[in-house]
């Protein structure tokens, strides 16, 4: 099967600083890929390039075989779900309004929306009573669940998660990790997860892509990283993640 | 036959009535009263008259007459020579008429009084010292003189006057006009400058010293009118009977006492009803002023919002266009509000009107709205912008559904600032005859009457507070609940 998202020679720099060296990458359909690496390694930039939130300096991003351009960016974004670290929920809208924002904008039938919302509440284990609360009235973990529901509302073909658990305390985080794993297993959806935590990557992802200084250093399963680190940097990075269980 | 004449007269009056004659006046007591007299004179001659009282100073009235916004206004020969024709020579009435004719303006016969500079003293003291003329002052170099600062400095003021008459007083000081009268009455000064038809002359039993060497230029009152004014109207203005100095002084005094210019003007025609000085209907006037004030401030605010919001949205995107927008609206704000009004008066289609006031207020109200809209939008965190974009909302929908609601608190604060500034600045609209609560403030300043000033100032201040409160209330409805948690 052809990959849904493919990067061909994509690079990006900001001012004089190179954020991403020319990079080729594709994501296996139906699998969860973790992009991992230290801060500033280019993993978030890569994600933003896929969403056309940034335009590549060189190379191209293909979505479902077609190059992502200014013209089709909106259509592509509607086939992609996106969750960021702080959730990115709109504070002036209730949880429900956040989740339904896009489907309401597209004029989807009420019944269909209600059914989908019901499914998502169950899937992400979000209490229905919380739907009428505003983001400021929800806990950090609940906000991330709502954000995930919003990303999944239009049944996207690809799910992008940019450090979705980064801002949560350890207990909530581990609970959400468990739930996310279950969700990924249930959805069997092409998912791209950005994280800086090797343990989280190993726990949630089928494949791990380690990046450093704007380029891909190693790609493989958690076992590959443990048994055959490609470079000195890979061993250091893995060893630095104390208590990583893989 | 009789019915035929009646019919003709009816037709004549109805054609006259078709086009109203607009009478203007300057914003000081005597001009208001003369405007009122001209109104009645013209109405009695069968014309429909529209009065635009207290429009401003000489330049504004002359401009309005030249543009055809008004047809008639009272003026003084000295002013016509110095400020309108700008000549240093002393022109005769006929020379003046000829010069004005070239400008398309006619000048009526002299109304019968001369409102020039004068020196005044207490009557009792003048009689005791035997002083009747300015020349008589030479015998009394020890008298204390208190002069307005303007008169002290003018080219035709104190120094040349003293030189012309050989006056040698050394005790000469500068003092405010109104305070000077009080000082004169108390005796702390003995001689003061005045306008020869000042109401205070009669009120305080003062005498005007005769200018026996004709030092002061003549300021004879006349009506200036457009040359296309109906000949019957011109005839009426020329032959209504005139006003002498004593009469004018008493009418000015009545105007200042009653604070009702129309009433004072009516005394010219019916001196008998001088007891019936009506106390104006304060509440009716207040309602009229406030209504007009709200109209001026409201329409201009609406325009500021309609134009300022889109400008603010464009400015929020930065770049050269955004910077230019912010620079221009910022620059407008640095123009003093009074100067902005004055600058707009010569603009075609604006002139002396409420429209000018609304345009000035609109321009003034732009900056807080544009700047707050731009700032509010720029302050939206990048994560929220990315989220809105990543959802696949088009840019219009992002603005409408996400960005504007998120910036609503800042934008509303800008609108509120604009509204409060507008309420205050709208009081200046009265300067160009646009009405509002500035009207009593201005006439109060002219009459040196604090009560009248407060009739405008207090409601204006209350209105500003009310508007502030109203907007605080509006915040609850317009700022989404989620942002107030």
d(CA A165, CA A158): 19
CB contact under 8 A, B482 and A136: yes
Has residue B444 got a pLDDT over 80?
Answer: no
Backbone angles phi, psi at B248, to 5 degrees: -65, -40
pLDDT category of residue A242 using cuts at 50, 70 and 90: low
Q: How far apart are the CA of B404 and the nearest CA of chain A, in angstroms? A: 11
pLDDT the model gives residue B277: 47
pLDDT band at residue B155 under the 50/70/90 scheme:
low
B374-422 pLDDT, tens per residue?
999 999 998 899 999 999 999 999 999 999 999 999 999 999 999 999 9
Total CB pairs under 8 A between chain A and B: 69
Q: Which among A162, A177, A173, A168 is positioned nearest to A82, based on CA atoms?
A: A162
Would you call B188 an interface residue with chain A, using a CB distance cutoff of 8 Å? no
- Cα dihedral A202, A206, A210, A215, rounded to 10, equals -170
Q: Tell me which residues of chain A, numbers 159 to 198, contact chain B at a CB-CB cutoff of 8 Å.
A: none
pLDDT band at B440 (very low <50, low <70, confident <90, very high): confident
Alpha carbon of A217 to those of A186, A210, A230, A232, B201: distances in Å?
Answer: 30, 6, 7, 10, 100
Kindly state the tokens that stand for B8.
């003709």
Among the listed residues A242, A245, A193, the one whose alpha carbon sits nearest the alpha carbon of residue A37: A193
Round the average pLDDT of chain A to a whole number and report it: 89
Q: Running DSSP on this structure, what letter comes out for residue B351?
A: S
Chain B, 340-399: which have a CB under 8 Å from a chain A CB?
A: 383-384, 386-394, 397
Answer whether B402 sits within 8 Å of A105, measured CB to CB.
no
Contact criterion met (CB below 8 Å) for B110 and B138: no
As a whole number of angstroms, the distance between CA B358 and CA A57 comes to: 51
The DSSP bridge partners found for residue B49 are B21
User: Span B5-23, mean pLDDT?
Assistant: 58
Pick B386's closest partner by Cβ from A53, A136, A137.
A53
Give A50's strand partners: none
Residue A19 has pLDDT above 70, yes or no: yes
Instruction: Tell which of B381, B382, B387 to mutate to test the A interface (max A CBs under 10 Å).
Output: B387
Distance in angstroms (rounded) separating the CA atoms of residues A157 and A29: 9
Instruction: List strand residue ranges (DSSP E) for B99-220, in order.
Output: 105-107, 117-122, 145-147, 172-174, 191-195, 206-208
In terms of CA atoms, which chain B residue is nearest residue A50? B390
Q: Per mean pLDDT, which range of B15-19, B105-109, B173-177, B341-345 is the poorest?
A: B15-19
Flag whether residue A92 sits within 8 Å of chain B, measured between CB atoms: yes
Q: Is the distance from CB of A10 to CB of A59 less than 8 angstroms?
A: yes
Q: What angle (nearest 5°) sits at the alpha carbon of residue A11, between those of residues A234 and A71?
A: 135
Rounded CA gap, B72 and B372, in Å? 46
- State CA A71 to chain mean position distance: 23
Distance CA B358, CA B263 (A): 31
For B347, other C-beta atoms within 10 Å of its C-beta total: 11
Please report residues of B whose CB lies closer than 8 A to that of A76: 392
Q: What beta strand segments (E) does A66-197 contain?
A: 66-67, 80-84, 158-162, 190-195
| pLDDT at B183 (0 to 100) | 81
DSSP output for A104-126: HHTT--HHHHHHHHHHHHHHTT-
Give residue-wise pLDDT tens across range B247-276. 898 888 888 777 788 888 888 887 655 444
Question: B74 has which bridge partners?
Answer: B223
**B394 to A74: CB separation less than 8 angstroms, yes or no:** yes
Q: Which helix (H) or strand (E) holds B73?
A: strand B72-76
Phi-psi category of B432—alpha, beta or left, where left has phi over 0 and alpha has psi -120 to 50? alpha
The average confidence (pLDDT) of chain B is 86
Per the CB < 8 Å rule, is A75 touching B392?
yes
B217 pLDDT band, cuts 50/70/90, is confident
Instruction: State whether A150 and B391 contact (CB < 8 Å).
Output: yes
- pLDDT tens, A25-53? 988 888 899 999 888 888 888 988 999 99
Question: Could you tell me if A82 lies within 8 Å of chain B, comparing CB atoms?
Answer: yes
| Closest by Cα among B18, B23, B236, B228 to B109 | B236
Helix (H, G, I), strand (E, B) or coil at B115: coil
- Say yes or no: A48 contacts chain B, CB-CB below 8 A: yes
Q: B114-142: buried (b, 16+ CB within 10 Å) or exposed (e) per residue?
A: bbbbbbbbbeebbeeeebeebbbbeeeee
The verdict on pTM exceeding 0.90 is no
Can you spell out the DSSP letters for B11-48? HHHHHHHHSPEEEEEESSHHHHHHHHHHHHHHHHTT--
Least CB–CB distance from A74: residue in B392, B402, B483: B392
Kindly give, in sequence order, each residue whose CB lies less than 8 Å from that of residue B172, ignoring residues fewer than 6 positions away. Answer: B145, B146, B147, B152, B158
ipTM of the complex: 0.88
């Amino acid at each position: 099967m052809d990959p849904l998202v493919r990067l061909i020679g994509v690079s990006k720099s900001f001012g004089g600083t190179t954020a991403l060296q020319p990079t080729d990458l594709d994501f296996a359909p139906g699998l969860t890929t973790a992009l991992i690496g230290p801060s500033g390694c280019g993993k978030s930039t890569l994600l933003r390039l896929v969403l056309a939130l940034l335009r590549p300096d060189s190379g191209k991003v293909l979505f479902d075989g077609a190059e992502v351009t200014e013209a089709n960016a909106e259509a592509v974004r509607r086939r992609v779900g996106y969750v960021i670290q702080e959730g990115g929920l709109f504070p002036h809208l209730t949880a429900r309004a956040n989740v339904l924002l896009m489907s309401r904008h597209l004029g989807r039938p009420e019944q269909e929306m209600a059914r989908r919302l019901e499914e998502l509440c169950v899937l992400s284990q979000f209490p229905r009573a919380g739907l009428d609360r505003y983001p400021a009235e929800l806990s950090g973990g609940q906000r991330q669940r709502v954000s995930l529901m919003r990303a999944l509302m239009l049944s996207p073909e690809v799910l992008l998660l940019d450090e979705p658990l980064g801002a949560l305390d350890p207990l909530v985080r581990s609970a959400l990790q468990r739930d996310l794993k279950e969700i990924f297993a249930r959805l069997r959806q092409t998912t791209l997860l950005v994280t800086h935590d090797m343990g989280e990557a190993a726990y949630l992802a089928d494949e791990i892509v380690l990046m450093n200084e704007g380029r891909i250093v190693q790609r493989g399963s958690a076992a590959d990283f443990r048994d055959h680190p490609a470079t000195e940097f890979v061993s250091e990075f893995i060893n630095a993640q104390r208590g990583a269980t893989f | 036959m009789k019915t035929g004449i009646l019919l003709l007269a009816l037709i004549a009056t109805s054609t006259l009535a078709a086009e109203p004659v607009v009478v203007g006046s300057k914003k000081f007591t005597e001009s208001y009263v003369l405007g009122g007299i001209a109104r009645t004179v013209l109405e009695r001659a069968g014309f429909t008259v529209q009065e635009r009282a207290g429009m401003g100073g000489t330049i504004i009235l002359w401009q309005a007459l030249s543009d055809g916004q008004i047809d008639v206004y009272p003026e003084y020969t000295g002013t016509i020579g110095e400020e309108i024709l700008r000549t240093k020579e002393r022109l005769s009435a006929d020379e003046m008429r000829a010069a004005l004719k070239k400008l398309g303006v006619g000048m009526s016969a002299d109304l019968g009084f001369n409102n020039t500079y004068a020196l005044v003293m207490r009557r009792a003291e003048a009689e005791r010292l035997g002083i009747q003329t300015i020349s008589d002052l030479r015998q009394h170099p020890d008298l204390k003189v208190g002069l307005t600062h303007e008169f002290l400095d003018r080219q035709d003021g104190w120094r040349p006057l003293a030189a012309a008459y050989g006056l040698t007083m050394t005790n000469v000081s500068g003092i405010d006009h109104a305070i000077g009268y009080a000082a004169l009455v108390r005796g702390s000064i003995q001689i003061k400058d005045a306008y020869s038809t000042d109401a205070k002359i009669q009120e305080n039993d003062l005498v005007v010293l005769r200018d026996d060497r004709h030092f002061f230029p003549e300021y004879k009152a006349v009506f200036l009118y457009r040359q296309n004014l109906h000949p019957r109207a011109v005839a009426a203005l020329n032959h209504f009977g005139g006003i002498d100095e004593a009469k004018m002084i008493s009418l000015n005094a009545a105007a200042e006492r009653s604070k009702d210019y129309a009433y004072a003007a009516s005394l010219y025609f019916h001196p008998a009803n001088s007891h019936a000085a009506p106390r104006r209907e304060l509440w009716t006037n207040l309602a009229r002023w406030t209504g007009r004030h709200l109209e001026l401030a409201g329409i201009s605010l609406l325009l500021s919002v309609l134009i300022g919001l889109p400008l603010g949205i464009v400015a929020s995107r930065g770049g050269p266009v955004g910077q230019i927008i912010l620079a221009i609206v910022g620059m407008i704000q640095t123009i003093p509000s009074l100067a902005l009004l004055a600058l707009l008066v010569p603009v075609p289609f604006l002139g002396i009107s409420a429209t000018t006031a609304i345009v000035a207020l609109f321009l003034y109200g732009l900056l807080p709205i544009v700047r707050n809209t731009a700032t509010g939008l720029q302050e939206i965190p990048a994560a929220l912008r990315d989220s809105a974009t990543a959802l696949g909302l088009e840019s219009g929908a992002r603005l409408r559904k996400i960005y504007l609601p998120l910036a609503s608190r800042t934008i509303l604060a800008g609108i509120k600032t604009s509204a409060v500034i507008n309420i205050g600045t709208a009081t200046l609209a009265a300067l160009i005859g646009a009405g509002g609560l500035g009207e009593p403030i201005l006439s109060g300043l002219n009459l040196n009457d604090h009560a009248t000033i407060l009739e405008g100032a207090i409601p204006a201040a209350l209105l500003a507070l009310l508007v502030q409160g109203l907007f605080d209330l509006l915040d609850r409805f317009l700022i989404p609940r989620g942002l107030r948690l």
